[in-house]
Chains A and B, each alone.
Chain A
Amino acid sequence: MDGRRDAEDLQGDAIALATAGRARARAAGRSRGFRSARRLEAITGVALILPALFWISLLVAYPFAMALYYSVSNTVVGGGSGTFVGLANFTALLDDGSFRQTLQNSVVFTVSAVAAKAVLGVMLALILHRTLRLKRLIRGLVLLPFVIPTALSTLGWLWMFDSLYSVITWTVNRVVLGPIGFAPLEVNWLGSPALAMAAVIVVNIWRGLPFFAVTVLAGLTAIPTEFYEAAEVDGAGRWGRFWHVTYPLLKPILAVVVLFSTIFTFADFNIVYVLTRGGPQESTHLFATLSHALAFGSMQLGRGAAVSLFMFPVLVVVVALQLHYLQRDETRHA
C-alpha cells in the first residue's frame, strides 16, 4: 500500500517539474511569434513523416485495397478481377463448419499463447533481473529462439514431435517413467486434436517468450531503485513490492507487448503450416492457414481474402482503443 503511495508521490514530483519547465518554454515561445512557430512546426511535422507515408502507401495501399476488393468478389487466382458478390464470401464463411472451427481455434490459440507468454515472460524477466552469475551469457541465450528463422526452427519442433522419433516421448519414457517402473507412454503429439493444439501453442510460446522476457526485463531495469527502497522501509514483502511497485510501473510496457504479441500470434502461419497443416481434421487451422489453403490450394482468392479480413474490423477497433488509451496515458504522465 505504502509503496504505491511513494511511487505515486515520486511520479507526481516529476510531473510537476516537467510541467513547470514546459510552461516556461511555452511562454518564451509565445513571445517570439507563437503562430508562425506553430505553422512551421506543422510543416516540419508533415515533412518528416512524408518518407514513411510515401513508402508505406506506395506499397501497401494498393495491395490492401485489392485485398479488400477480393473479399467482396469471386476472384480466382490469375483469373482477372472476378465479379462483385457483395458479402457473399462472408456469409458463406459463417455457414461453413470449418471456418467456425477455425474461429474457435484462433481464439483458443491466441488467448492461451499470449496469456502464457505474458505470465512466463514476467516471471522469467523477474528472475533474469535478479540473476547475477553469467548475466550477459544467459540474457543472450534466452534470445535464441527469436533469432533462428521460424521457417527452419519449426521444422526442428516437427522432428521433436515426430510420432516415432520424438525426443520428448523418448526422454519421458527412458529417463523419467522407465527407471521408476512405469509403462512407457504411447503418445502421438500431433495426432489428437487437444494435444496438437497444445503442441502448436507450446511452439508459439517458445518462439515468443524471449520477446516478452527481454522487453519486460528492460522495463524492470528502468524502475528506479528508490521506489523499492521506499517500499521496503514501509515493510513490504517480496510479493508486496511486486504488486505495489513493479506491476503498476510495468503496466504500460506490458500493454504494448501484449498488443504486439496478440497481433503476431493471431496472424501466425508458419507453426501450424509446418506442424499440422490444420489437422488433425480441422482442429488447429488458424485464419492464416485456412486462408492460405483456400487461396493457393484451390485459387479461391476471394474466399481466402474474406477469411483473412474477417477479424480485421474487430482488430482495428481493439487496437485503436488500446493505442488511444496508451497515448492518453502518456500525455497524462509526460
Chain B
Amino acid sequence: MPRVRRGGAFRLFVVDHVGLVPFLLFILFPIYFMVVTAFKTDRELYDLQAIPFWIRDGVSLGHFHHLFFKTNFWRWLFNSLVVSFVTMTVSVAISIFAAYSLARLRFPGARSFGIGVFITYLVPPTLLFLPLTQIVNWLGLIDSLWALVLTYPTFLIPFCTWLLLGYFKVVPREIEECALVDGCGRLGVLFRIVLPIAVPGIVCAMLFAFTLAWNEFLYALTFTSASVTKTVTVGVAAEMIRGDVFHWGGIMAGAVTGALPVVVMYVFFLDYYVVGLTAGSVKG
C-alpha cells in the first residue's frame, strides 16, 4: 500500500470508498434483485403497483418450498457437486504435469503444443457437441454422469494448463536446478519443490475449474436426460420454464441456491485465489 504524505490519507480513503459504490451497485443490484424475486409471491411479482425491488406482501418461501420438495433439486445439486469436484480434480492433476512440462522441460515442439492446447479453446462448443455426442454414445455413456466427467476436462484442461504454466514459470529455476544437481529426478523436483511453492496457483486453478464445470449447460443438457442425472442448471431450467410460462420466483430461487456452494468455496479460498492469480499471471 503506497502512502501519500501530502493531501491527507483520509481524503484518499474517502475517495476510494465512494468510488467503490457505483461498482458495487452495478455488480450486486441484479443479484439482490434475484434474491428479492425469489422471496416474492407470484401475485406480487405480476402486480404493476408493487415496488419491484422491495417485498411488500410479506416474504414467501413458496418458491423455495416447491424447488426443494416438489422437484429433484437436491439430487441435481448433488450431481453438480460431484461432477464438478471430480472433473476439477482430474483436470488440475493432468494440467499440473502438462503445465510443468511446457514451462520447464525442453523438447521438440513444446511451444507449438502449448499453442495447440490453447487453440482447442477457439473451437466453438455450439457445434462441437454434436459429433462429441457420437463419441459419448460409442463409449456407451449416454445418459450417465460419466459422460460429463469425461467431456468437461476438454475445456478445463486447456484453461488450467495455461493458468498453471504462468505460475510455474515464476518459480525460480535456481531452486529446481540445485535440487536436480543434488540428484533429485524431475518428478521429485515437481512434487517436492515446485508444487509446495505453487499451492496458491493450484488452488486458483481448482476454483476456476470448479466454477466452469458448475456453470456448464450445453454438455449437461445433451448428454443426460433422466431427472436423476441432471445438473442444477439444466434441472432448474427444465422444471421452472414450462412452455411459455416462466416461473420467475423458482428460477431465481434455483439460481441463488445453486450458487451458494461455489460462493462458500470462494470465500473460504479467497486469499489463495488472489495470491494464486498474482504469481500465475503477472509474469505469464
User: Which of A144, A166, A301 makes the CB contact (< 8 A) with B31?
Assistant: A144
Number of interface residues of B (CB under 8 A): 112
Does A312 count as interface, using CB distance less than 8 angstroms?
yes
A232 and B2 form a contact (CB under 8 A): yes
B273 and A252 form a contact (CB under 8 A): no
**Nearest chain-B residue to A333 (Cβ)?**
B283
User: Which of A51, A132, A225, A320 makes the CB contact (< 8 A) with B2?
Assistant: A225
B102 and A66 form a contact (CB under 8 A): no
A59 and B248 form a contact (CB under 8 A): no
Does A176 count as interface, using CB distance less than 8 angstroms?
no
Does B106 count as interface, using CB distance less than 8 angstroms?
yes
The stretch of A92-100, A152-160, A193-201, A276-284 in contact with B is A152-160
Fill in one digit per residue for A8-31: 1 if any B CB lies within 8 Å of its CB, else 0: 000000000010011001001100
Residues of the B chain whose Cβ atoms lie less than 8 Å from the Cβ of A128: 20
B135 and A63 form a contact (CB under 8 A): yes
Residues of the B chain whose Cβ atoms lie less than 8 Å from the Cβ of A253: 281-282, 284
Fill in one digit per residue for A167-206: 1 if any B CB lies within 8 Å of its CB, else 0: 1001100000000000000000000000000000000001
B262 and A56 form a contact (CB under 8 A): no
User: Which of B126, B154, B233, B281 makes the CB contact (< 8 A) with A219?
Assistant: B281
A55 and B94 form a contact (CB under 8 A): yes
Interface residue ranges, B against A (CB under 8 Å) = 1-2, 4, 12-13, 16-17, 19-20, 23-24, 26-28, 30-31, 33-34, 37, 45-46, 48, 51-53, 94-95, 97-98, 100-102, 105-108, 110-111, 113-115, 117-132, 134-135, 150-151, 153-154, 157-158, 161, 166, 169, 172-174, 177-178, 180-181, 186-187, 211, 214-215, 217, 232-233, 236-237, 246, 248, 251-252, 254-256, 258-259, 262-263, 266-267, 270-271, 273-284
Interface residue ranges, A against B (CB under 8 Å) = 18, 21-22, 25, 28-29, 38, 40-46, 48-49, 51-53, 55-56, 59-60, 62-64, 66-67, 70, 77, 120, 123-124, 127-128, 130-133, 136, 138-153, 155-157, 159-160, 164-167, 170-171, 206, 209-210, 214-215, 217-219, 221-223, 225, 228-229, 232, 238, 241, 249-250, 252-253, 256-257, 263, 267, 269-270, 287-288, 291-292, 295, 301, 304-305, 308-309, 312, 315-316, 319-320, 323-324, 326-327, 330, 333-334
